[in-house]
Chains A and B, each alone.
Chain A
Amino acid sequence: MKSLFLVVTLALVIMSALLHWTAPDRASPVPVLYWVTQDDEVKRETIELFKQWLHDHGHPPVDVRLDNSNSDQTKKITQGLAGVGADLFDVYPFQKDLFSSSGMFLDVTDVAKERGFSPEASYPALKQEILFEGRQYGFPRNTGGAVFWLNTETFARYGIPEPSFRWTWDEFEKLGTAFVTAANPPGTRNRSYFVQSVPLIMLRRSLGLSIFNETMTKATLDDPRNAELMRRYLRWVNELHLMPTVAEQTAMAASSSRPGDGFFYLFATGRYAMLNLPRWALIRLRPLGKLSMRIVEPFHGGFPNMDFSCGLISVYAASKHPEAATRFLEFLASERFNLLVARSGDSLPPIPKYVQSEAFLRPPDHPEEWAIQEAFSKMGPELGIGYSRSPFVALGTVFRVESKISQAVVAGRLSPEEAGRQEEEELNAEIALTIRVDEKMRQRHEALTKIQVQIDQRRALGQKVPLAWITNPFYRVYYQAQGWLEEAPAS
C-alpha cells in the first residue's frame, strides 16, 4: 500500500512538471498575450493583422491567443480580481464601469494621448462610453447602435408599405398591426412578428425622458411619459403581438447553436419583418444569402435618437506584458484594423473617418449592401447618444431591473403607472445603498444633488442651464436640441 501511495505521488509530481514545462507560454519564443473574447474568423484575422502591424512598425513580436472559455462576466471579474486574469479583455457596455471601478484595468490615459488612441480619436458621442471617472481604461474594438433592418421582400409579400427612414411610434403601431394581421391566419397563434424587440431606453428618451435626472443622482421614472411608454409596450406585446414575449425570444435562442441565430433565420424566411440590431447583424445575415434589405432609424415619440455605445478592449492591470498589450489597443486605432471592421460587417469602425472609406461604403462582394452602408455612415454619428451611466448604480443592475419591470408589466403584475414607480424605487434604493457604504460617493452625490437643485430651479423658471452642470449624456443632447443651454457644447 505504501509503495502504491509513493508511486501515485511520484506520478502526480511528474505529470504536474510535464504540464508545467509544456505550457503554451513556455513553448512560445515570444511573449504571449491572452485575449478573452469570442473565437471567430474576424478575431483570428485581427491577430494576424496585429502581428503584421507590429512587424511593419518595428515593434517586438508578440503572440496573441484567444480565450473564449472565460468570457462570462463572473469568470472575468473573479479571475481578474484574483490576479490571474487574461492580458486583454473584451468589455461590454454594461461591464465597463463595474470592471473599471474595481481597478483591474490598466489606466492608459497618458499613453493613449501619446500614441493616438485617446477618446478624441473616436466619435464625440462615445467619450463617456470610453472614459471612466475621466480616465481611459480601454479603446473600442467596434461601435454603434441598433437600427431597424427591413426585409423588403417580406413587406412586399404581404403588401405592407415600408416605413420611411425617419418614423414615429404611431407609424410603427399602424404598420405593425397591418403586418401581423396579414401574416398570421385568423384564429391561429401568432407565428410572424413585426420585430423581435424594441429598445425601451431609446423610446423613453424619444419622449424627452431619461432613466436618471440631469446629474444622475436619482432615478426619475415615476412620470406620465414613462407610463405612456409602458402602456404602448404592453399593447404592442400582449394585444397586438407585434413582437414576441421575452420567453418566446429565449426559446427561439435555445433552438439555435449561437445566441440570436434564430432571429436571423426567421428574418430571412419572413417570420420577422424587421430586426432591431446594430451593424454587426451583417456578419450573421451574409451567410443566409443575398437578402433584399433596407435600414431605417429607430422610430420615435417626438425626439429621434439612437443608443450609441461601444465594445472596449482593456488591458489587465496585472498583465505580465503591459507594453505589448497596450500596443494592441494602439493597433485598434490603425487603418488595418478599422478596414477589417469595415469589410467584415462588424459594427462601426472605432475611428470615424473609416466610415467614409470605400471598404465601408462599397464592399465589393456585397453591392446589395451599398445603400445600407451609406445610411450607417450617417445615422450613428448624427443620432447616437451614449448610455446614462449613473456612478451610483451599475449599468448591469439598471438593465436587470428594467427588464424585470417590463416583464412584470407584460405579465400583468404591474400597471404601467406602478411600473415607473417601482423601477424608480428600486434604482433609488441602489443609489441610497451605494452612498451609505461609500463615503466618497456620498460626498459626490451631495455635491451633484446641490447642482441638480439649481437645475430644477432654473428649469422651473424657464431659465437656461450651463452645459457643465449636466452629466447625463442624454440631457446634454436634449437640452441643446431644445435650446435650454446657456452655451453651445464644444463638440
Chain B
Amino acid sequence: MKKSRSKGLLVGLMFILPNVLGFGAFILVPLLMSFGMAFTDWDFLRHNMFRDEPLNFVGFENFVRLFTHPQFWHYLGNTFFLMLGLPFAIAGSLGAALLLTRAGQAKHQIKPVMILATLIMIGSGLGLLQGGMAENGVWFFFGLLTAITLVAGVLTGGSVYRTLFYLPNFTAGVATFVLWKKLYHPDTGPINQGVAPLLDGLAAWINQMPGAFGYGLPLVAGIVMVLVVGWQLRRLRRAWDLSEAGLVALVAGTVAIVVPVGLMLGWFGLSASAAVAGSTAGLVGFVGLTARRLRPWGIPKPADKGLGTEVALAMLLIPGLLILAGAMVVGPSLPAAAMAGLSAPDWLGDYHWAKPALMMMMLWAAIGSNNMILYLAGLSSISPELYEAADMDGATPRQRFWHITWPQLAPVTFFISIMSVIHGLQGGFEMARTMTLGGPAGATTTLSYFIYIEGFETGRIGYASAVAWVLFALVFVLSIFNFRYGNRHVQD
C-alpha cells in the first residue's frame, strides 16, 4: 500500500516536472536574477560573454537615480492616467454581462427588437444605396451592422452577442492595434469620417446661435459640476455621520473633487501655486469642518474605514469632473472655433488626445474581455430565489441590482479589480510600441515602455531591472490596498 502510494506520488511529480522546470527556468530564475541585477551596474554592452568587465554592486544607486529621474515621474503619471479607464472598463464588462444575460432570458421581447432592427436595416440600406460610403455613409454602415447584429443576436438567443463581445479577447494584440491605428487615421479613418459630419453640423448649428451661446455650455457644465460636487460633499458628510467613513476616507473623497477643481482653476489662468493653495484650502476646510462634527454616538471608528469605496468612486468622479471642467474652459471659445470649422481630433498625433485615444481602445478591448466572462459566470451562479423574494417584496430593478446582484458579484468584482490593476500597471508597452512609439512627446510612454527603452536601447539592464522592481512594488502595494479595502462585500 505504502509502495503504491509513493509510486503514485512519483508519477504525479513526473507529470508536473515539465511545468515546474519551465517555471523555474523561465520565470523563477530570471525573476531572482533581475532582483540581484537591480543592485548592480549591469550594462549588457560591458558585461556579456564577449567582454569580461567585472560587475559592480551599486547598492540602491539605481533606485535613487530612478526616483530623481524626471522622466520616470512623467511615465509613472502616464501609467496611472491610462489606468483611470479601469473603473469604466469594469463597469462596461458588468454592463455587457448583464445585457447578455437579459438577452438570453428576454424571449418575449423579440418582436419589438425585430421590428426596430428591420427598420434600421432598411433605413441604413437605403441611405447607403443613395449616398455610398462617402461622408455620412459611415453612419449608415454602422446602422446596418448594428441591425444585422441585433437580428442575429435575437434569433440565436444571445450566442452571437456573446461571441461578438468576446471577439477582441481572442484577436491578436498587434493586429488589433494596427486596426485601431487605421480607425484613428486623421484623414481616412472611419472614426473621423463619422465624426466630421457631426462636427460640421454642430459648427453650423453653433454659428446660427446668438453670441451668448458660448456661455451656455460652461453654464450647464458649471451647474452640473456644482451639483456633482454638492452630491459628493453631502454623501461624504452622511457617511461620516453614519460612521461609514473614517478620516482617511473623508480626505480621499474630498481629494476626488478638489483635484479636478484645482486643475480647472489652473486652466482658467490662475497660477499653479494659487490653484494648489486654493484647492488645499478647500480640502482642509471641508475635512476640518466635517471632522469636527461629532458623530451621533461619539465612538471613533478606524480612520481608514470606507477608503476602498471612496477610492473607487474617486476614479469615476475625477474623469467626469475633468470633462465638465474642460467644457467650462472650452465653452467661451467655441463660437469662434465653430466659425473656423470644427475639425475632428488628430487622435494619436495630438499630445492631449493620444492618451484618451488609447484609453478608448482599451475600454473596447476590456468590455468584452475575460472580465465579462467572469461576470457572466458570476451572474449565472446567483440564486434565482433571491430575485423572487425581492420581487415579492416589491423591489425595483435598481434595488434588485444594488441589494442582490452587486453584493453577490463582489468576489468577482474584487478579483477583476485586482487583475485589472496588475495588468494596468504592467501594460501599455505593445500598444504604445505599435501605435505611437511612446509619443507624441512621450505622452503614451508607460513604465513598461520605459523598461524596454532602458534595457534594450541603452543596455542598462541593471537600471531597467530596478524600474521593473519598482513596478512590482507598486503592483504589490495596490494589490494589498485592494485586499484591505476592496473586499468588504466579499468578507460580508
A1 to B7 alpha-carbon distance, docked (Å) = 13
Which listed segment binds A: B45-53, B103-111, B213-221?
Answer: B45-53
CA distance A189 to B189 in the complex (A): 14
Contacts of A174 in B (CB 8 A): none
* CB interface residues, A 246-261, toward B, < 8 Å: 246-248, 250-252, 254-255
B439–A246 touching, CB < 8 Å: yes
Q: Is B351 an interface residue (CB 8 A)?
A: yes
Cβ of A2 within 8 Å of any chain B Cβ, yes or no, is: yes
Q: Are A403 and B43 touching (Cβ within 8 A)?
A: no
Interface size of A in residues (CB-CB distance below 8 Å): 48
Give the residues from 176 to 221 in chain B that come closer than 8 angstroms, CB to CB, to chain A: 178, 181-182, 184-189
The answer to whether A81 and B458 touch across the interface, beta carbons within 8 angstroms, is no
Give, as a whole number of angstroms, the nearest-CB distance from B267 to chain A: 14
Chain B residues in 8 Å Cβ range of A81: 44, 48-50
Chain B residues whose C-beta falls within 8 Å of the C-beta of A396 in the assembled complex: 457
Point out the residues of chain B lying under 8 angstroms from A187, CB to CB.
341
Q: How far is B455's CA from A394's CA once the two chains are assembled, in angstroms?
A: 13
List residues of A (349-403) whose CB comes within 8 Å of B's CBs.
394, 396-397, 400, 403
With A103-B48, A246-B439: A255-B346 Cβ-Cβ less than 8 Å: no
Q: Which of B58, B185, B350, B441 contacts A408 (CB 8 A)?
A: B441
> Contact mask A444-455 → B, CB, 8 Å, 1/0?
000000000000
Evaluate whether A250 and B351 lie within 8 angstroms (CB atoms) in the complex, with A81-B49, A411-B441, A413-B441 already known.
no
Contact partner of A254 (CB less than 8 A), chosen from B58, B181, B352, is: B181
Taking CB as reference atom, which chain B residue is nearest A83? B49
Docked complex: B119-139 residues within 8 A CB-CB of A = none
Assembly CA distance A46 to B276 (angstroms):
65
Pair B346/A246 contact, Cβ less than 8 Å:
no
Q: Are B45 and A101 in contact (CB under 8 A)?
A: yes
> Quick check: is A77 within 8 A (CB to CB) of the other chain?
yes
* Interface: A74 (CB within 8 A): yes
State whether A407 touches B439 (Cβ < 8 A). yes
Partner of A246, one of B51, B187, B440: B440
Asked if B436 lies at the interface with its beta carbon under 8 angstroms from chain A, I say: yes
Give 1 or 0 for each of B16-53: 1 = CB within 8 Å of chain A CB.
00000000000000000000000001011110111100
| Closest CB in chain A relative to B357 CB, distance in Å | 10
CA distance A101 to B351 in the complex (A): 36
**CB-CB nearest in chain A for B182:** A254
Does A191 make an interface contact (CB < 8 A)? yes
- Quick check: A104 and B50 within 8 Å, CB to CB? yes
Most central of B15, B45, B65, B459 by chain A CB within 10 Å: B45
Chain B residues with CB under 8 Å of A191's CB are 187
Q: How far is the CA of A5 from the CA of B438 in the complex (A)?
A: 47
CA–CA, A437 and B62, complex, Å? 11
Is B92 part of the contact surface with A, judged by Cβ < 8 Å?
no
Once bound together, how far apart are the Cα atoms of A81 and B182, in whole Å? 37
- Provide the main secondary structure of the chain A interface: helix
Q: State whether B441 touches A255 (Cβ < 8 A).
A: no
Interface size class of B (residues with CB under 8 A): 35 or more
Q: Is A69 an interface residue (CB 8 A)?
A: no
Q: B162 to nearest A CB, angstroms?
A: 30
Kindly supply a per-residue 1/0 record for chain B positions 338-361, scoring 1 wherever the CB is within 8 Å of any chain A CB and 0 otherwise: 000101001111111010000000
Interface contact tally, CB-CB below 8 A: 128
- Contact B437 A250, beta carbon cutoff 8 Å: yes
Q: Which of B65, B182, B457 has the most CB of A within 10 A?
A: B457
Task: Return the contact of A397 from the options B15, B351, B457 (Cβ within 8 A).
Answer: B457
Asked if B50 and A102 sit within 8 Å, CB to CB, the answer is: yes
- Please, how many angstroms separate the alpha-carbon atoms of A400 and B439 in the complex? 10
Is B11 located at the chain interface by the 8 A CB criterion? yes
Instruction: Please tell me which one of the listed residues A83, A317, A397, A404 contacts residue B458 in the complex, with CB atoms under 8 A apart.
Output: A397
For B189, the closest partner residue in chain A by CB is A251
Bound CA span A85–B178, Å? 29
Chain A nearest CB from B14 CB (Å) reads 6
Residue of A nearest to B46 (CB): A438
Which of B51, B71, B442 lies at the interface centre, i.e. has the most chain A CB atoms within 10 A of its CB?
B442
A327 to chain B, nearest CB (A): 22
Is residue A412 contacting chain B, with contact meaning CB distance below 8 A? yes
Indicate whether A245 reaches chain B with its CB closer than 8 angstroms.
Answer: yes
Q: How far is the CA of A250 from the CA of B180 in the complex (A)?
A: 13
Residue on A nearest B41 in the bound complex, by CB: A437
**B50→A247 contact, CB < 8 A:** no
> In the complex, are the beta carbons of A404 and B45 less than 8 A apart?
no
Q: Which of B41, B50, B188, B442 contacts A404 (CB 8 A)?
A: B442
B382-441 with Cβ < 8 A to chain A: 435-441
What are 30 pairs between A and B in contact, CB < 8 Å? A2-B11, A5-B15, A73-B456, A77-B456, A77-B459, A81-B49, A82-B49, A83-B49, A101-B45, A101-B46, A102-B459, A103-B50, A245-B349, A245-B440, A246-B439, A247-B347, A248-B346, A250-B181, A250-B348, A251-B181, A251-B186, A317-B50, A318-B50, A396-B457, A407-B439, A408-B441, A411-B352, A411-B440, A411-B441, A426-B71
- A residues near B (Cβ < 8 Å) are 1-2, 5, 73-74, 77-78, 81-83, 98, 101-104, 187, 189, 191, 245-248, 250-252, 254-255, 317-318, 394, 396-397, 400, 403-405, 407-408, 410-414, 426, 430, 433, 437-438
5 more A-B residue pairs beyond the given contacts A404-B439, A408-B442, A410-B440, with a C-beta to C-beta distance below 8 A: A81-B50, A245-B346, A404-B442, A408-B441, A411-B350
Which B residues fall within an 8 A CB radius of A? 11, 14-15, 41, 43-46, 48-51, 58, 65, 71, 178, 181-182, 184-189, 341, 343, 346-352, 354, 435-443, 452-453, 456-459
Query: Which 6 pairs, one residue from A and one from B, show the smallest C-beta to C-beta distance?
Result: A247-B349, A103-B50, A411-B351, A408-B441, A407-B441, A407-B440
